[in-house]
Amino acid sequence: MSRSVGRPAETDPDGAVITKSLVNVTIPTKLAEFLKKAGINRSKLFTRIVTMLYLNEICRFCYGTEITSTLTGEKCEGCESWLSFKQCANCGDNYDMRNQLFNKNNRGLLPSDNPNYNHFCQSKKIELGCCNCIKEKDRL
């Protein structure tokens, strides 16, 4: 029986191993010492900062660049994850699926299965709205 050695590989939402590349970054010595004393993993920090800098241009789950903008927010077509949500043009409430954004186990939830999801709606009186401002009886 063989045992795996080292850290487990990072995987994307579909379970495929994410390949990695070594990048050499030169930083001030005092900054490197601070990060070491604080116990901060430089690889994770670099990955997090770069994905934050390019918000809605690169997926923070699978690192794909197939990002689609919809009426409710930005979604990665590669792994089907929502990256960010917009506000309702009518009432200003956020379109929201927070549980799906940060819980890896619930990535496959459909919006209708998620009680926190505030989805896009239309009515005869309001062209663009959400389920918070357009009541069910008035929806098209």
Residue 134, pLDDT score: 78
Quick count: other Cβ atoms within 10 Å of Cβ 82?
21
Confidence of residue 66 (pLDDT cuts 50, 70, 90): very high
Q: What mean pLDDT, rounded, does the chain reach?
A: 79
Q: Say if CB 108 and CB 114 are below 8 A apart.
A: no
Q: Say if CB 36 and CB 46 are below 8 A apart.
A: no
> Which backbone phi and psi does 105 adopt, to 5 degrees?
-70, -20
Q: Say if CB 77 and CB 65 are below 8 A apart.
A: no
Domain boundaries in the chain?
10-65, 87-140
pTM for the predicted model, two decimal places: 0.62
Tell me how far apart the alpha carbons of residues 96 and 85 are, in angstroms, rounded to a whole number: 6
Residue 11, pLDDT score: 83
